[in-house]
Structure 1
Amino acid sequence: MTVESDSQGTVFSLFFPASEERPAVLEDSLSMVDLRGRGERILVVDDEETQRDITRKMLQLFGYSVHTVASGEEAIAWLRSRSVDLILLDMIMDPGINGCETYAEIIKIHPDQKAIIASGFSRSEEVKKAQAMGAGQLLCKPYTLLELGLVVNQALHGA
């Protein structure tokens, strides 16, 4: 990193090591049509309103029926009288219980409940615990429309 300042302002230059590794990309032939849902019901559990809204709209573009809640406690209460095909579960929610604790309670109600964990952080011990209980892949935030579509499709259809 270098920093250069003068009367016009300051310039920060960041230099990163070169790599021959190619970034991970989705398959070239993959499209939204390939990832289209069949009206499956998905519950999005996230304490951030903007994230819930964006995710709901993204999933609706794929043809899913989406409901959102703002906490683990809301998710548990909502699922006591309903079922969904898949839960997209934020791992860190404040205040209240986290995603792992939420999933532990949900599988008491719906033992075979499919879930995807969404988190802005890497694989933590709580993520590992939730996956050991049966939750599926970790979807790292921020995610793209195609990344979301692919992970949801894999969770629902094993594709």
Structure 2
Amino acid sequence: KGAEELLKAFTEVAQKVPNTKLVIAGAFFFNSNIVSPFEQKLRNLASNPTVKNRIIFTGFVNYEDMPAIYAMSDICVLPSIWDDPAPLAVIESLVSGKPLITTRSGGIPEYADEQSAIILERGDQLVDQLADAMTKIARDSDERDAMGAHKTALRSEFNKETYMAQLAIRLR
């Protein structure tokens, strides 16, 4: 459901910020060209004339190709409505050095902070809040740079060596 809100919000952003594009990375079915009913619903939303040529669906992306997706992005927007304890896409977005717009869901606030992310509340105003946040960050390169600069600290915190060291301490 968060993707639906994102597409609706992008329709507002596209009217305010020229030359913006939205890339929807991934697919419902692993390594397949099968389109789920949910993905078809998203594609139907993306057929709106305002955004029709400005939304790109990548389909399935091999994990080793994800750094290229992050590298081509200016902003990562991950509005989760589920209480996922540790969403990998959030962590990857943060260490990529891209500003993140996300929601206060599950474990996300344990990883994202106000230095590197805009954290929105889930609720009835989410579409408007997403549109406002995306417009603000898209228009403000200084803010994007400031949020992305926090990546060095995050990379030292969110890596396998640090994780294994913390795990070893907990297992003692």
What's the TM-score once normalised by structure 1's chain length? 0.46
The structure richer in strand per residue is 1
What's the TM-score once normalised by structure 2's chain length? 0.43
The one of the two structures with greater contact order (alpha-carbon pairs below 8 A, sep at least 6) is 2
